[in-house]
Amino acid sequence: MNILVCLKQVPDTPDVKIDPQTNTLIRDGIKTITNPFDTYALEEGVRIKERYGGRVSAVTMGPPQAEQVLRDAISTGADDAVLLSDSAFAGADTLATAYTLARAISKLGPYDLVICGRQTIDGDTGQVGPELAEMLGVSFVAYVSRTEEISDGWLRVRRMVEDGYEVIETPLPAVITVVKEINVPRLPSLRGLTRAKSVAIPVWTAQELGIDPGTVGLSGSATRVIKVFFPQRVRRGETLQGDLPSQVSRLVDRLREAHLI
Ligand SMILES: Cc1cc2nc3c(=O)[nH]c(=O)nc-3n(C[C@H](O)[C@H](O)[C@H](O)COP(=O)(O)OP(=O)(O)OC[C@H]3O[C@@H](n4cnc5c(N)ncnc54)[C@H](O)[C@@H]3O)c2cc1C
């Protein structure tokens, strides 16, 4: 099994700040982590490798410091990793992100399974997995909560739905996104930590991927963020006048008007 796991570096805070000039995240001085859902994706890849043999490769697209998520992935079981980093990739929307990842996956060679997290905790769209499958021309299963079996080029998984689960069989290669119920990610091993420190991680640019810079990053994005803002909460107090019975009656009217009773 050749397994590829896509991991993204995200801010380690729900309190993200937006630059009002550029409408992008202010990343300076913010501690980063591997997107939590992607740690489940990696763990599942490593478990499949342990069960069926093969290799797990970790891939991320991001600025040079995103290399850290790949070193962390190696410390917890990935065999190798590649960083996709180029100023041309900056400002990518989900489509441009998926396109860059798809080009890298195709360059990495034949694969059986691509595993992504169900969504990120910053962008939060859950679009990259399905877009990736579409671009690679392979089948896709979302919200996978258990890998049941892999045999004869077929994968059988459980996927979570609102009121239970579905069992899906799909031919390989395929892309899946996983939920946190799928496993408990392991801690780094001592051997893994040692390897992670010394292993060479190649960095692929747009040129190395044979990509026209106009098709990736902000210029290759089909969407533009026009405005990002936090809604202002306006509290409007009202003091009820009159004697107590009329205040109560007015209060009940107000609550009814607001459909609160
Ligand atoms: C309309 C729009 C405009 C945007 N404009 C900008 C912008 O101008 N500048 C900017 O910095 N960001 C921008 N973003 C955010 C950027 O598009 C996303 O961070 C990125 O495309 C990934 O989308 P997501 O975080 O929603 O991932 P999801 O679709 O929620 O991620 C699902 C899974 O895909 C994989 N994945 C996602 N991203 C990566 C990655 N980079 N590397 C490896 N695996 C990955 C992971 O396994 C992840 O769990 C924009 C987003 C939108 C929706």
- Within a domain: 38: yes
Report the percentage of the chain scoring pLDDT > 90. 83
Q: State the Cα–Cα distance between residues 185 and 166, nearest whole angstrom.
A: 23
> Span 48-73, mean pLDDT?
97
The residue written with tokens 């780094």 in the block is 188
- Identify which of 97, 113, 124 to mutate to test ligand 1's pocket (most ligand atoms within 8 A of the CB): 97
- Within a domain: 225: no
Q: State the Cα–Cα distance between residues 36 and 102, nearest whole angstrom.
A: 22
Task: Identify the residue whose C-alpha is closest to ligand 1 atom 6.
Answer: 91
Of residues 29 and 101, the one with the higher pLDDT is 101
Q: What is the mean pLDDT of the chain?
A: 94
> Span 177-186, mean pLDDT?
98
Q: Is the CB of 61 under 6 A from ligand 1?
A: yes
Reported as a pLDDT band with limits 50, 70 and 90, residue 18 is confident
- Within a domain: 260: no
The predicted structure's pLDDT at residue 25: 73
Among 107, 96, 112, 128, residue whose Cα is nearest residue 8: 128
Q: State the Cα–Cα distance between residues 153 and 108, nearest whole angstrom.
A: 20
Reported as a pLDDT band with limits 50, 70 and 90, residue 235 is confident
128-179 per-position pLDDT tens digit? 999 999 999 999 999 999 999 999 999 999 999 999 999 999 999 999 999 9
- Identify which of 30, 113, 125 to mutate to test ligand 1's pocket (most ligand atoms within 8 A of the CB): 125
Output the domain CATH number for residue 176: 3.40.50.620
88-97 per-position pLDDT tens digit? 999 899 999 9
Domain of 199?
Answer: 2-215
Q: Is the CB of 63 under 6 A from ligand 1?
A: no
Task: Identify the residue whose C-alpha is closest to ligand 1 atom 49.
Answer: 117
- Within a domain: 64: yes
Q: Is the CB of 183 under 6 A from ligand 1?
A: no
Task: Identify the residue whose C-alpha is closest to ligand 1 atom 17.
Answer: 93
- Within a domain: 99: yes
SS (H, E, C) the chain: CEEEEECCEEECCCCCCECCCCCCECCCCCCEEECHHHHHHHHHHHHHHHHHCCEEEEEEECCHHHHHHHHHHHHCCCCEEEEECCHHHCCCCHHHHHHHHHHHHHHHCCCCEEEEECCCCCCCCCCHHHHHHHHHCCEEEEEEEEEEEEECCEEEEEEEECCEEEEEEEECCEEEEECHHHCCCCCCCHHHHHHHHHCCCCEECCCCCCCCHHHCCCCCCCCCCCCCCCCCCCCCCCCCCCCHHHHHHHHHHHHHHCCCC
Model confidence at 231: pLDDT above 80? no
Find the 112 Cα to ligand 1 centroid distance in Å: 24
- Within a domain: 231: no
Reported as a pLDDT band with limits 50, 70 and 90, residue 113 is very high
Q: Is the CB of 216 under 6 A from ligand 1?
A: no
Report the domain count for the chain. 1
- Within a domain: 169: yes
- Within a domain: 226: no
